[in-house]
A and B are shown apart, each in its own frame.
Chain A
Amino acid sequence: MSVKDKVWLWFHRMASPAYFYKLAGQLLPWCIVATIILMLVGLVGGLVFAPADYQQGDGFRIIYVHVPAAWMSMFVYMVMAVNSAIFLIWHIKLSDIVARSSAIIGASFTFLALVTGSIWGKPMWGTWWVWDARLTSELLLLFLYLGYIGLRSAIDDRRVAGKAGSILALVGAINIPIIHYSVVWWNTLHQAPSVSKFDNPSIEINMLVPLLCMAIAFKLFYLCILLINSRSELLEQEKRSNWVKELVTSS
């Protein structure tokens, strides 16, 4: 079997609700444990062991929540957009479920990023909010998430709701590169990226390591919630199918 065939086989297997449901159930406990461990390591490392910043003192430590949340707000949207594209092209129901379950998590991360950013902005910049390109495009992202959730729940027919939502998610995806490059393309109050310059991150290594721990912990946390959400969505959607019946009668 060639590599291409294997990839397709995996793709089809993952698309099977029964298989995904089982796999997600097995994966979940590991994810939860890993999330808790990494989050503890990241928080203790960031709040206790990392040195204070030369300019912002201890105030900079909010970075350990703000930056991972902001990364997640964009990452979750990309997951949503890619799954929406897969759903539109191949009509794979599971992709639609992943996109749908991601929206509320993404919206929460965006909200968290905006709130922590605002709390950070007041003591450092001297203002809660300023309409610069980075802050405005991130706020737009929150509205995109909320619009997506609203649009889907306004349409009763699952298939139509999935299609309409997917198109909206794809249209909104254009905002992601704008958010990322906003601080490079335009002059803003928000500072330029520190970490994504991989050749030479402008953050000390003992400040960076807890930040990366937190970033991975946030990703795993998202995965946990996603697995839980999509498992229950799957049961709901497939309630008339044989594998759900077997599942219910066997337990």
Chain B
Amino acid sequence: MSPKQKQRLILVSLLVVGLGVGIGLVLMALNENINLFFTPSQVVAGEVPPEQRFRIGGMVTMGSVEKLDGELTVLFKLNDSVKEVQLKYAGILPDLFREGQGIVAEGKLNEEGVFVADQVLAKHDENYMPPEVEHALKTSGGDYYDNEAIE
């Protein structure tokens, strides 16, 4: 390698490393804004700015889904296996909505601390398997739905 090539190699490496560090710092500073949703723990701890629309994400608590008679309104709870938040939603739920499913909802907290959602999205997990395998895992106590450890 000629001295000139060496010099260019150093320049190119500096460019990439410098940019990497710079962008890394920016992303760390913006961390909170890049997250798509708040977790139930954050909501319960009051980390969410008051009177503002935000998204909340978590698992639908087993046995918490309740449909109000004659209406589209659904009541359910979201948990992150530490804390729980009560949600209320009037509208059509995605097909993947079910108890134990990961959900992201957008809306506002009301005075009683109930999250009134106007959009509910299903977050499916990264596990792909045929139904028989899923059944076998569930009956043998596999932990694909792990939300028993709520306070």
Contacts and interface: CB of A to CB of B under 8 A. Distances in A.
Interface of A: 51-56, 60, 63, 85, 88-90, 123-127, 130-133, 167, 170-171, 173-174, 178, 185-189, 191-194, 202-204, 207
Contact of B120 (A60, A126, A173): A126
Enumerate the 3 nearest inter-chain pairs by beta-carbon distance, A residue then B residue, closest first: A126-B94, A51-B130, A54-B134
Interface stretch (B8-16, B44-52, B59-67): B8-16
B36 A133 contact: yes
A186 B39 CA distance: 12
B96 interface: yes
A167 B35 CA distance: 30
A173 B94 CA distance: 36
16 contacts: A51-B131, A52-B130, A53-B130, A54-B130, A54-B135, A89-B12, A90-B5, A124-B95, A125-B121, A126-B121, A133-B36, A178-B27, A189-B121, A192-B126, A194-B126, A204-B128
B150 interface: no
Interface string B10-28: 0010011001100100010
- Main DSSP-derived SS at the B contact region: mixed
Given A52-B130, A53-B130, A90-B5, A124 B122 contact: yes
Nearest to B15: A170
B53 interface: no
B149 interface: no
Interface residues of B, number: 38
A90 B93 CA distance: 57
